[in-house]
Amino acid sequence: MSDAYADFKEQPGDDPDDVLFNTLYGVRTIQLNRPKKYNALNGSMIRRIIPRLKEYQKSALASIIIIGGAGPKAFCAGGDVSQLAKDIAENGETGQATSKSYFGLEYKLDHLIATYPKPYIAYLDGITMGGGVGLSVHAPIRIATENTNFAMPETGIGFFPDVGGSFFLPRLEGFLGTYLALTSESLKGVQALYAGVATHYIDSSVLSNLTARLAELVFKDYDNLHTRLRIIDRTIEEFNTGLPHNEPPHLAGNLRLAIDYCFRYDTVEQIVSALEKERDSPNAPSQIKEWANKTLEKLAEKSPTSLKVTLRQMRLGARWNTAETFNREYHIAAKFMRHPDFVNGVSARLIHKPATKARWEPDTLEGVSNDDVENFFKIEEGEDSLNLLTQGLDYDRYPFERDLGLPREEHVEEVVKANSRGREDIINTMVEAKEGKIGVREKVEEVLGRRAGINGEGKVVWKS
pLDDT digits (tens, 9 = 90+) for 305-364: 999 999 999 999 999 999 999 999 999 999 999 999 999 999 999 999 999 999 999 999
Q: What pLDDT does residue 4 have?
A: 53
Q: What pLDDT does residue 10 have?
A: 82
Check if 164 is active-site: no
Residue 460 is which amino acid?
A: V
* Cα–Cα dist 214/236, whole Å: 8
Check if 79 is active-site: yes
Query: Residues 102-117: pLDDT tens digits?
Result: 999 999 999 999 999 9
- Examine the pLDDT at 3 and tell me if it is beyond 70: no
* Cα–Cα dist 65/57, whole Å: 9
Q: Exactly one of 162, 185, 233, 341 is catalytic; which is it?
A: 162
* Cα–Cα dist 21/55, whole Å: 12
pLDDT band at 225 (very low <50, low <70, confident <90, very high): very high
Cα separations in angstroms, 447 against 207, 324, 444, 461: 30, 32, 5, 12
Q: Exactly one of 154, 233, 442, 445 is catalytic; which is it?
A: 154
- Examine the pLDDT at 212 and tell me if it is beyond 90: yes
Q: Exactly one of 78, 79, 158, 196 is catalytic; which is it?
A: 79
- Examine the pLDDT at 191 and tell me if it is beyond 90: yes
Cα separations in angstroms, 41 against 69, 75, 147, 349, 408: 11, 10, 19, 18, 31
Residue 281 is which amino acid?
A: S
* Cα–Cα dist 46/105, whole Å: 7
Q: What pLDDT does residue 333 have?
A: 97
* Cα–Cα dist 362/371, whole Å: 14
- Examine the pLDDT at 1 and tell me if it is beyond 50: no
- Examine the pLDDT at 29 and tell me if it is beyond 50: yes
Work out the average pLDDT over 363-390. Answer: 94
Which DSSP string do the residues of 300-352 spell out, in sequence order? HHS-HHHHHHHHHHHHHHTT--HHHHHHHHHHHHHHHHTSHHHHHHHIIIIIS
Q: What pLDDT does residue 13 have?
A: 86
Q: What pLDDT does residue 245 have?
A: 86
pLDDT band at 385 (very low <50, low <70, confident <90, very high): confident
Residue 443 is which amino acid?
A: K
* Cα–Cα dist 194/211, whole Å: 23
Which residues contact residue 221 at a Cβ distance below 8 angstroms, ignoring those fewer than 6 apart? none
Q: Exactly one of 131, 174, 189, 439 is catalytic; which is it?
A: 131
pLDDT band at 213 (very low <50, low <70, confident <90, very high): very high
Check if 126 is active-site: no
Residue 56: φ, ψ to 5° = -65, -35
pTM, two decimals, is 0.95
Query: Residues 80-107: pLDDT tens digits?
Result: 899 999 999 999 999 999 999 999 999 9
- Examine the pLDDT at 279 and tell me if it is beyond 50: yes
Q: What pLDDT does residue 146 have?
A: 97
pLDDT band at 2 (very low <50, low <70, confident <90, very high): very low
